[in-house]
Amino acid sequence: MTRALVIGKFMPIHKGHVALIEFAATQADEVIVSMSFTPNDTIDPQLRFSWIKEIFKDSPNIVPSIIKDDFDDESIPLADRTSVWAATMRQVYPKIDIVVSSEAYGYPFAANLNATHISFDPERSKVPVSASLIRAKPFRYWDFIPAVVRPYFVKKICFYGSESTGKSFMAQKMAKRYHTEFVPEVARELITSNDFTEADIIKIGYAQIERINEKIKTANKILFCDTDTITTQIYSRHYLHTVPAVLFELEKQVQYDQYFLFDIDVPWVADHMRDLGSEREKMFEVFKNELDQRAISYQLVTGNYKQREIMISKCIDEMLTK
């Protein structure tokens, strides 16, 4: 049995890494994919490791492993550095026969392991990308990011504000414009009037989070969300005169990259759920104050629907190219 080793931080794993690992699997009976991590990594190690396991879950000869990087010393020459690496690998893994890499460390590392080195696409001509490029500009290199990794980089946009300000319309409009997903106001699927219970509002809170987690998996760079958990809290306080503690815990589960606060300078449109038309100014201040109290920055959305679309699109375009 021959055993190959592929090492890296995989921060994040990208299609170049996947191609390298799949190539390594053609060169040996088993491939150990050793993901190193430190406490200061910018992407959570367990999340990164879960991506690797998910990508190769149907490849039994590819064995993901995770190792704390507390043995490297960047101040010493590469040959000596890789000698330290090799000593650690011998303690952790079975005998390694082949090292597969695209980096300059490959040859000395393999030599220190008494293994053969096989180079894979060192010029990155097959998959012209690196993890650092993806971290810096994920949307530019979106096509090189595996599907399981993409949700990490998706920007979550919250359309926020009181009733009848065009949030639902705009969420659908923007999702279509940017070829992505939107999360509707799930409360409208669960209740048919404002005569609801505390159990109902808790169910709404969980359902909203679940829908975000579902839609983010297939979102294309941007996910537009019509409402958030703060909104659920506001309506709970207004109609029930209480806010279940769990709603504050649910709020912590989703951090939005941009809030758009919709102003009330558009005509009121009544429906079976809207009954606060006479309190528009008051409710606008309630929504605004909740953001201010949390020090959440936001873009105020004003004007007619076309003006609002232009304003939001400009902000999103800047986000995509930043």
Q: Could you tell me if 179 and 250 lie in one domain? A: yes
Q: Which residue has the tokens 């500009």?
A: 137
Q: Could you tell me if 295 and 191 lie in one domain? A: yes
Listing DSSP states for 102-161 in one string gives SSTTHHHHHHHTT-EEEE--TT--SS---HHHHHH-TTTTGGGS-TTTHHHHPEEEEEE-
Q: Could you tell me if 132 and 270 lie in one domain? A: no
What's the DSSP call for residue 290? H
How many residues can be counted in the chain?
322
Q: Could you tell me if 122 and 179 lie in one domain? A: no
Q: Could you tell me if 295 and 219 lie in one domain? A: yes
Q: Is the dihedral of CA 97, 103, 105, 111 positive or negative?
A: positive
Distance between start and end Cα atoms, the chain = 49
Q: Could you tell me if 87 and 159 lie in one domain? A: no
131: containing domain = 3-144
Q: Could you tell me if 125 and 165 lie in one domain? A: no
Number of domains present in the structure of the chain: 2
**Domain-located, residue 234:** yes
pLDDT in tens, 189-247: 998 888 999 999 999 999 999 999 999 999 999 999 999 999 999 999 999 999 999 99
Domain end position, chosen among 112, 144, 176: 144
pLDDT at 234: 97
- Reference 99, options 89, 90, 91, 109; nearest CA is 109
Q: Which residues of 41-53 are buried (b: 16+ CB within 10 A; e: fewer)?
A: eebebeebbebbb
**Domain-located, residue 103:** yes
pLDDT at 269: 87
CATH number, domain with residue 185: 3.40.50.300
**Domain-located, residue 34:** yes
Across the beta sheet with 155-160, the strand order is 181-183, 222-226, 155-160, 258-262, 299-301
**Domain-located, residue 92:** yes
Domain end position, chosen among 95, 116, 144: 144
Pairing state between β 98-101 and 3-8: parallel
Dihedral angle of Cα 235, 240, 246, 251, to the nearest 10 degrees:
10
**Domain-located, residue 131:** yes
Domain end position, chosen among 144, 173, 201: 144
Q: Could you tell me if 183 and 316 lie in one domain? A: yes
**Domain-located, residue 194:** yes
**Domain-located, residue 149:** no
Q: Could you tell me if 112 and 51 lie in one domain? A: yes
**Domain-located, residue 109:** yes
pTM of the model: 0.92
Q: Could you tell me if 28 and 93 lie in one domain? A: yes
CATH number, domain with residue 120: 3.40.50.620
Q: Could you tell me if 207 and 140 lie in one domain? A: no
Q: Could you tell me if 235 and 183 lie in one domain? A: yes
How far apart, in Å, are the Cα atoms of 137 and each of 129, 174, 321? 11, 22, 8
Residues of the chain with pLDDT below 70 are none
